[in-house]
């Protein structure tokens, strides 16, 4: 049967009325393929990225199966971040607008748990939440699953990357055996497949991956930039292309704050979004950005999950993403609905290889751009200044201000001086250290790691089961895991990792008073991996090598890059 409309899916009149009101004309591929098997009660694995319409693909069947007369939780939907949980809850509420009596509760860290408890006690039918807060309610016995019929894991790969695997498995074990389990993920990694084998029953596999990277509406360009000049280059691009709605991506929370501060000092309306913000702060930031009060939103990949903002002029990768998939998610936020968009990447010398990996992964050649010069930006701002003055003259009502010129002339200034000073004030372009400098790095490369490796006297440790206690951040509530301990050893080579491990390079060493326990504590605390999983540690004068499990290497780099150990900022990468 050919499915042309939502009515062809056999949905209730109330759902069809809401779908029509929301402006949906035809089901997206994931909705067309996903809704029928979910409605029929099958377990489903859906491979789909953000923006493909997957929320409706599971949200509509969830609503259709709820019994409003049964005052118990009948569906649980897990999301990796509070933003996505709120977005999913809001969309399901819109889909269920005309279905009377269905109550939805969103639970996540940062919101009052007492308020959530009161709401759960009154009775809700659908719970949308983050794993950490769901676990908190489980332990408090304020959330009961004995009547849950449907369990949905949304963006399961992201939840695993954030270290929620144990929580997810604990929650799934609490579910009734006779339930329906729906899993959506952008990738089908081994950990994802392991969960499907353990907790799903003969699932139907649906693969609908939106291919943003073949979108001809997105101009993709990279610029070779010295790290310290990235903000300068970014502002030049903003001015050159007159970008009015811009999303800037960084790899670390610290970098988000630094960029926002510098942009605001330069007069750009910018706000930051990352995991350390309270929910009210996040809501305020997004409200201002959607309203156009803020033109530049600087965010980490995790914090930007679930954000759906239409009409973006461009996406700027301030940091090259550590995962090729993140590049797909990032640039897919511009150039939507047939509109044109731009994706600019600012590439430092040590990020060039990651850009090449992205090109290999996407099968798309990213063109190298030329950094606009200071003179280019002055010329552009002059032209816009002239246009704005001409427009003001055309509008009229300037009589009240015409004596200003005469007043300034009486003070001894020429017309040229007056106009020049006004242009300088309004345009805001002033020469600085970057005005006449070369902001691009030169192709000739000094191999920092090669020279560092020639140092001698490295101290070697095996961190494998070092015992300690490390706090998690608010994504996982207040629980802290314990670690086991074992003595240090000196068995492996300082230049190669043991089988199953990946060797990482850290830009701190003995001269920074770094001890093995500092390395273990930082990695375990930030990357959410057990201290016992960390392998050999080689500490040299200026740098350190550390072995981590291959499966965790990327998440460790993501979590640690730009963070500090004993007050020293750390650069981290996979050792070459």
| Residue 252 contacts residue 561 (beta carbons within 8 Å) | yes
Give the model's pLDDT for residue 153. 95
What pLDDT does 481 receive?
Answer: 33
Q: How far is it, in rounded angstroms, from Cα 413 to Cα 416?
A: 8
- pLDDT (tens, 9 = 90+) of the chain, 576 residues, equals 567 788 888 899 999 999 888 877 778 888 989 999 999 999 999 987 665 678 899 999 999 999 999 999 999 999 988 878 888 999 999 999 999 899 999 999 878 899 999 999 999 999 999 999 999 999 999 999 999 999 999 989 888 877 888 999 999 999 999 999 999 988 788 888 989 999 999 999 998 755 444 455 788 999 999 888 999 999 999 988 889 899 999 988 889 999 999 999 888 999 998 878 877 888 888 888 888 899 999 998 877 766 667 678 899 999 998 777 788 888 888 876 557 789 999 998 888 888 888 888 888 889 999 888 888 777 777 787 787 778 777 887 777 777 777 887 788 888 888 777 777 766 665 555 555 566 776 654 344 444 343 343 455 555 543 333 233 333 333 333 333 333 333 344 445 667 788 999 988 888 888 888 788 878 887 787 877 788 888 888 888 999 988 888 888 888 887 777 877 888 888 887
Scanning 123-186, the segments in alpha helix (DSSP H) are 131-140, 156-161, 165-174
Residue identified by tokens 């959607």 is 290
What is the total residue count of the chain? 576
SS3 state at 381: helix
Give 10: exposed, middle or buried? Use CB within 10 Å, 0-12, 13-18, 19+.
Answer: exposed
pTM for the model? 0.49
* Matching residue, tokens 């201290």: 531
| Unique residue bearing structure tokens 């003969």 | 202
Under CATH, what is the fold of the domain 212-371?
Answer: Rossmann fold (3.40.50)
Phi, psi of 97 (to 5 degrees): -55, -35
Residue where the block lists tokens 């509406």: 217
Q: What is residue 476's predicted lDDT score, i.e. its pLDDT? A: 35
Q: Which residues pair with 204 in a beta bridge?
A: 44
Calpha distance 126→107 (Å, rounded): 11
Conformational region of residue 4, where left means phi above 0, alpha means psi within -120 to 50, and beta covers everything else = alpha
With contact defined as beta carbons under 8 Å apart, do 84 and 77 qualify? no
Sign of CA dihedral 58, 60, 64, 69: positive
Residue 416: Cβ-neighbour burial (10 angstroms; 0-12, 13-18, 19+): exposed
Contact, 27 vs 39, CB < 8 A? no
pLDDT for residue 53: 76
Q: Note whether 6-207 and 212-371 share their fold.
A: yes
Q: What is the CATH number of domain 448-574?
A: 3.30.70.330
- Strands 572-574 and 501-506: what pairing? antiparallel
Q: Give residue 438's pLDDT.
A: 65
Q: Is the dihedral of CA 437, 440, 445, 447 positive or negative?
A: positive
What pLDDT sits at residue 231?
92
Q: Which of 267, 307, 302 is nearest to 287 (CA)?
A: 307
Domain segments of the chain as ranges: 6-207, 212-371, 375-427, 448-574
Q: Which CATH architecture has domain 6-207?
A: 3-Layer(aba) Sandwich (3.40)
């Amino acid at each position: 049967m050919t499915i042309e409309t939502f009515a062809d899916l056999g949905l209730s009149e109330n759902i069809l009325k809401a779908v029509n009101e929301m402006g949906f004309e035809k089901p997206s591929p994931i909705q067309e393929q996903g809704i029928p098997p979910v409605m029929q009660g099958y377990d489903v694995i859906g491979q789909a990225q953000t923006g493909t319409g997957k929320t409706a693909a599971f949200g509509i069947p969830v609503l259709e199966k709820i019994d409003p007369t049964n005052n118990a939780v009948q569906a649980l939907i897990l999301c990796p971040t509070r933003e996505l949980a709120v977005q999913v809850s809001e969309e399901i509420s819109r889909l269920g607008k005309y279905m009377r009596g269905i109550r939805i509760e969103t639970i996540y860290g940062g919101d009052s748990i007492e308020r959530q408890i009161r709401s759960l006690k009154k009775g809700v039918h659908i719970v949308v939440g983050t794993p950490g807060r769901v676990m908190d309610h489980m332990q408090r016995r304020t959330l009961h699953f004995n009547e849950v019929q449907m369990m949905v894991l949304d963006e399961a790969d992201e939840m695993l990357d954030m270290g929620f695997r144990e929580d997810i498995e604990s929650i799934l074990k609490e579910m009734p055996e006779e339930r329906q389990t729906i899993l959506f993920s952008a990738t089908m990694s081994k950990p994802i497949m392991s969960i499907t084998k353990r907790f799903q029953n003969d699932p139907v596999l649906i693969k609908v991956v939106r291919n943003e990277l073949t979108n001809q509406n997105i101009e993709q360009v990279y610029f070779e930039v010295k790290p310290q000049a990235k903000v300068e280059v970014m502002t030049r691009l903003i001015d050159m292309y007159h970008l009015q709605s811009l999303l800037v991506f960084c790899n670390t929370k610290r970098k988000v704050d630094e960029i926002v501060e510098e942009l605001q000092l330069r007069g750009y309306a910018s706000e930051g979004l990352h995991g350390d913000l309270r929910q009210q702060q996040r809501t305020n930031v997004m409200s201002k950005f959607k309203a156009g009060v803020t033109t530049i939103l600087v965010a980490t990949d995790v914090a930007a999950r679930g954000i759906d903002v239409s009409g973006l002029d461009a996406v700027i990768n301030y940091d090259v993403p550590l995962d090729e998939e993140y590049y797909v998610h990032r640039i897919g936020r511009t150039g939507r609905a047939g509109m044109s968009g731009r994706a600019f990447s600012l590439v430092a010398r040590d990020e060039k290889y990651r850009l090449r990996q992205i090109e290999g992964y996407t099968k798309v050649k990213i063109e190298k751009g030329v950094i606009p010069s200071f003179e280019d930006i002055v010329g552009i701002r002059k032209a816009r200044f002239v246009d704005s003055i001409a427009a003001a003259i055309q509008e009229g009502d300037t009589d009240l201000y015409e004596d200003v010129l005469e007043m300034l002339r009486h003070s001894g200034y020429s017309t040229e001086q007056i106009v020049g000073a006004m242009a300088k004030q309004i345009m805001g372009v002033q020469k600085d250290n970057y005005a006449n400098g070369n902001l691009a790095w030169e192709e000739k490369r000094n191999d920092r790691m090669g020279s560092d490796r020639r140092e001698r006297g490295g101290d070697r440790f095996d961190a494998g089961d070092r015992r300690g206690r490390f706090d998690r951040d608010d994504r996982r509530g207040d629980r802290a895991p314990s670690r086991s301990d074992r003595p240090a050893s000196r068995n492996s080579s300082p230049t190669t990792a043991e089988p199953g491990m990946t060797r990482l390079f850290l830009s701190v060493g003995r001269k920074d008073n770094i001890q093995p326990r500092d390395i273990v504590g930082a990695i375990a605390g930030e990357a959410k991996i057990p201290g016992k999983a960390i392998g050999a540690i080689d500490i040299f004068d200026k740098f350190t090598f550390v072995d981590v499990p291959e499966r965790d290497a990327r998440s460790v780099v993501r979590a640690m890059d730009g963070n500090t150990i004993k007050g020293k900022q750390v650069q981290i990468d996979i050792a070459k």
